[in-house]
Amino acid sequence: MSADEELIREAFGLLNADSYERVMPLIADDFEMVTTAAVASEPGVYRGHEGVRRWWESFLEVMDDVRLEALSFDDQGDGRVIIEFLIHARGQASGIETAQPAVTIATAADGKMRRLEFFTSLEQAREAAGVDG
């Protein structure tokens, strides 16, 4: 396992409602997260530590107990790792629990997380990463 994949696995493991503040030392100052309406209540581009916090706060306004469960890590060998995962959450008002599949391309460099870009399918992420098959 590459050092970048190891860092990404550690950071992704901390990206949960009860621990996301603990990921901040692993996030680069120029970090960028790109989300779509298909996987986020507030789609857009989130930058830096404040962007990560805003993304989580948008979730926590309507959801309780938000957790990300990694299903697979595919190291691309260039600081990028494609991660398939489930977003588990429970609606604050309804109490209904959900699990939404998603995929991200996580990028690391110089010992920091640099970028997360979210997709709704593995095929979309693989295409965006330039991976054949």
The proportion of the chain whose per-residue pLDDT surpasses 70, expressed as a percent, equals: 98
Tell me the whole-structure pTM to 2 decimals. 0.89
Q: What is the pLDDT of residues 6-36, one digit of tens each?
A: 999 999 888 887 878 899 999 999 999 998 8
Q: Is the pLDDT of residue 41 over 80?
A: no
C-alpha distances (whole Å) from 63 to each of 30, 58, 80, 127 are 28, 9, 29, 31
> What mean pLDDT do residues 108-112 have?
96
pLDDT at 92: 87
Domain 3-126 has CATH 3.10.450.50: yes
Structure tokens at 56: 């989580």
Q: Which residue reads 């599949």 in tokens?
A: 101
